[in-house]
Amino acid sequence: MATGPRAVVIGSGVGGLAAAIRLACSGHSVDVFEAADGPGGKLSEFRIGGYRFDRGPSLFTRPDLIEELFQLAGVPVEAHFRHQRLDEANRYFWEDGTRLTAWSDPERMAREMEARLGVDARRVLRYLERSADLMQSTGSTFLEHSLHAWSDLRKGDVPGAMRRIRWPELFGSLHDVNRKELGHDKAVQLFDRYATYNGSDPFRTPGLMRMIPALEHGDGVFLPKGGMYSITRALHELAERVGVRFHFNAPVERILLGPEGRSVQGVQVNGAPHSADVVMSNMDVVPTYRHLLPDTPAPERILRQERSSSAIVFYWGVRTVHPDLGLHNILFTKDSRAEFRSLFQDLTVCDDPTVYINITSIHEPGDAPTGRSNWFTMVNAPRDAGQFGPELIQRVRRQVMDKVQRTLGLDLSPLIEVEEVLDAPAIQQLTSSHAGSLYGTASNSPLSAFLRHPNFHRRTKGLFFCGGSVHPGGGIPLALLSARIAAYFANSRTHAPA
Ligand SMILES: Cc1cc2nc3c(=O)[nH]c(=O)nc-3n(C[C@H](O)[C@H](O)[C@H](O)COP(=O)(O)OP(=O)(O)OC[C@H]3O[C@@H](n4cnc5c(N)ncnc54)[C@H](O)[C@@H]3O)c2cc1C
């Protein structure tokens, strides 16, 4: 067992698990306190009536970030985690009968878009090449370094990265860039959708977000063997293997500070102190300040940033296998502008929401009984502002079923044999995610990247932050990167003078 500095990680979401592994690998003695009865946070699973469902994330990119943790620990990844790269990324459906399969390979994707939509393949390819260029030239600067410490800013070469961004990509919206470069309504709608990958509004998020498709159409879409939850399982196993101790059903009540709040002393759990040299909060940063640090001045400007969107998810056990559906399916709204206005201004769900259907039983037969399928059916929903309730859920449920009927010609209602529902208040209740947001703060302004909470506390030595609510943002890959950045600071600040 490590006898180095003592570290406490608050929460075992994917960011907390990764941070615990990194801290243990650098010689810390690590305890993870988790409020729930198991690890994973949003990345969890449940079983009902012979079906298995991943509760939260369904799309997996950047497996290298998981592999990196195993390499760091010197443990062969294959024994704990396996995945495959998929040729097919998504299936897109419009109500007018247009259908398109999106391929991981950019050239194949461009040819498909030309064949199905009539948009010039060269134009699509140019668009995707620019996405990849941007991801390569600026992604590392903004996502892999802290934007809050001079030493790291210099390493990340922010001025160099800024020079490589075109003016409209910084100050125009993603929608404006897509419209100018693709000039085709359905192609624009398809690439606008990537704003939702970090819970943002394509009509406001900067054009720079055009780099997101490079993950799917280039790197590729991946399928973890055993479902998304196998990511949590693998990281939990690895953490235990490197000596991390887990305490479940153990909500942290306070972060304990030294005189004048200059250093951490540990945490309070079940009324008892647990001392530590390093405290890493994987809990959403808003409740971390509001509940665990009530006497510490909070960075209000950061905590009041607009939150990302949330979701309403219907987990349906469906008594059929629909031949037209793949792993990831998108049934588009007829009016994207109205959909995003509802989400971010009116804070409700519009009458014709885009519907996302994820069916893992296509690849994992054990996820549903024979001849049946496990539908994870999700619509984007606003952050929780008190508007959720049975009426909203029933309305959206009816609208989703109508949409499936109009687009796929399937009467779903009599085929549903089991059902569970998740909405923003439930996400908040299950994971403490402020307002039930999926991705922390939204990226609806060019400054958003700089207005996330740093991965360290500016005043309190030994206090660090990881997970989707802090820099560099939400989603599995970014939560993993947040852990890498936060652990880097934790290591340099406990082993060497601050
Ligand atoms: C429905 C849905 C769909 C999504 N789809 C995708 C997707 O397809 N792809 C993708 O990459 N991302 C997706 N996301 C986002 C992704 O799940 C998150 O960004 C990521 O999992 C967040 O991880 P995290 O490290 O921030 O921790 P979280 O998952 O937020 O976990 C935080 C943990 O802290 C614990 N905790 C909170 N307070 C305390 C306390 N006081 N004491 C102890 N423990 C505490 C919680 O119980 C929880 O386990 C989705 C999310 C949801 C909900």
pLDDT at 496 over 50: no
Q: Is 222 in the pocket of ligand 1 (CB under 6 A)?
A: no
Q: What single string gives the DSSP state of each residue in 308-365? A: PPEEEEEEEEESS--TT--SEEEE--S-HHHHHHIIIII-S--SS--EEEEEGGGT-G
Question: Quick one: pLDDT band at residue 2, thresholds 50, 70, 90?
Answer: low
Strand 272-275 relative to strand 245-247: parallel, antiparallel, unpaired? Answer: unpaired
Q: What is the pLDDT of residues 172-220, one digit of tens each?
A: 999 999 999 999 999 999 999 999 999 999 999 999 999 999 999 988 9
Q: Is 251 in the pocket of ligand 1 (CB under 6 A)?
A: yes
**Any idea what the Cα angle at residue 69 is, between residues 68 and 74, rounded to 5°?**
95
Closest CA to 358 of 221, 195, 235, 215: 221
- Give the span between the Cα atoms of 377 and 398, in whole angstroms: 13
Q: What is the pLDDT of residues 307-323, one digit of tens each?
A: 999 999 999 999 999 99
Q: Give residue 495's pLDDT.
A: 47
> How many A from CA of 478 to the centre of ligand 1?
12
> How many A from CA of 294 to the centre of ligand 1?
23
Average pLDDT over residues 334-350: 98
- Give the span between the Cα atoms of 332 and 492, in whole angstroms: 48
Question: Quick one: pLDDT band at residue 494, thresholds 50, 70, 90?
Answer: low
> How many A from CA of 110 to the centre of ligand 1?
34
Q: Is 224 in the pocket of ligand 1 (CB under 6 A)?
A: no
Position in ligand 1 atom list of the atom nearest CA 61: 11
- Residue with CA nearest ligand 1 atom 46: 431
Average pLDDT of the chain, as a whole number: 96
Domains in the chain, start-ordered, CATH in brackets? Answer: 6-44+62-83+227-305+444-495 (3.50.50.60), 107-216 (no CATH)
Q: Is 431 in the pocket of ligand 1 (CB under 6 A)?
A: yes
> How many A from CA of 348 to the centre of ligand 1?
22
- The whole-model pTM stands at 0.97
Question: Quick one: pLDDT band at residue 28, thresholds 50, 70, 90?
Answer: very high
- Give the span between the Cα atoms of 189 and 337, in whole angstroms: 10
Q: Is 14 in the pocket of ligand 1 (CB under 6 A)?
A: yes
Task: Kindly report the backbone phi and psi dihedral angles of residue 438, in degrees, each rounded to the nearest multiple of 5, phi listed first.
Answer: -80, -30
* Tally of CB atoms within 10 A around 133: 14
Strand 245-247 relative to strand 264-269: parallel, antiparallel, unpaired? Answer: unpaired
Q: Is 436 in the pocket of ligand 1 (CB under 6 A)?
A: no
- Give the span between the Cα atoms of 172 and 126, in whole angstroms: 19
In this structure, of 34-38, 44-48, 164-168, the range with the lowest mean pLDDT score is: 164-168
Question: Quick one: pLDDT band at residue 1, thresholds 50, 70, 90?
Answer: low
Task: Kindly report the backbone phi and psi dihedral angles of residue 207, in degrees, each rounded to the nearest multiple of 5, phi listed first.
Answer: -55, -20
DSSP-derived letter for residue 293 is: -
125, 225, 259, 396, 459 from 496: Cα distances, Å: 48, 41, 21, 54, 17
In this structure, of 4-13, 139-148, 332-341, 464-473, the range with the lowest mean pLDDT score is: 139-148
Q: Could you write out the three-class secondary structure of 111-176? A: HHHHHHHCCCHHHHHHHHHHHHHHHHHHHHHHHCCCCCCHHHHHHHCHHHHHHHCCHHHHHCEHHH
Here the contacts of 320-325 (C-beta below 8 Å, separation 24 or greater) are 320/371, 320/372, 320/373, 320/410, 320/415, 321/361, 321/362, 321/371, 321/372, 321/373, 322/373, 322/408, 322/410, 324/91, 324/99, 324/408, 325/91, 325/357, 325/359, 325/362, 325/373, 325/408
Number of DSSP helices (H) and strands (E) in the chain, helices first: 18, 19
- Give the span between the Cα atoms of 170 and 386, in whole angstroms: 33
- Residue with CA nearest ligand 1 atom 15: 475
- Residue with CA nearest ligand 1 atom 27: 13
Instruction: Output the six-digit token pair for 55.
Output: 């509760």
| Residue showing tokens 């134009």 | 123
103, 106, 178, 264 from 109: Cα distances, Å: 5, 5, 16, 51
In 4-126 the beta strands, taken as DSSP E runs, fall at 6-10, 29-33, 45-48, 51-54, 83-86, 88-93, 99-103
Q: Give residue 497's pLDDT.
A: 35
130, 143, 190, 233, 246 from 284: Cα distances, Å: 33, 19, 30, 21, 19
Q: What is the pLDDT of residues 346-394, one digit of tens each?
A: 999 999 999 999 999 999 999 999 999 999 999 999 999 999 999 999 9
Question: Quick one: pLDDT band at residue 159, thresholds 50, 70, 90?
Answer: confident
- Give the span between the Cα atoms of 199 and 382, in whole angstroms: 9
Q: Is 100 in the pocket of ligand 1 (CB under 6 A)?
A: no
Average pLDDT over residues 252-264: 97
- Give the span between the Cα atoms of 98 and 156, in whole angstroms: 43
| Residue showing tokens 């007018």 | 96
Question: Quick one: pLDDT band at residue 80, thresholds 50, 70, 90?
Answer: very high
Question: Quick one: pLDDT band at residue 498, thresholds 50, 70, 90?
Answer: very low
Q: Is 177 in the pocket of ligand 1 (CB under 6 A)?
A: no
pLDDT at 139 over 90: no
* Tally of CB atoms within 10 A around 486: 30
- Residue with CA nearest ligand 1 atom 19: 475
Residue 42: partners with Cβ closer than 8 Å, 6 or more residues away: 13, 14, 55, 56, 57, 427, 430, 431, 433, 438, 468
Our mutation pick for probing the ligand 1 site, out of 69, 90, 431, 478, counting the most ligand atoms within 8 A of Cβ, is 431
Q: 494 or 136, which is more confident?
A: 136
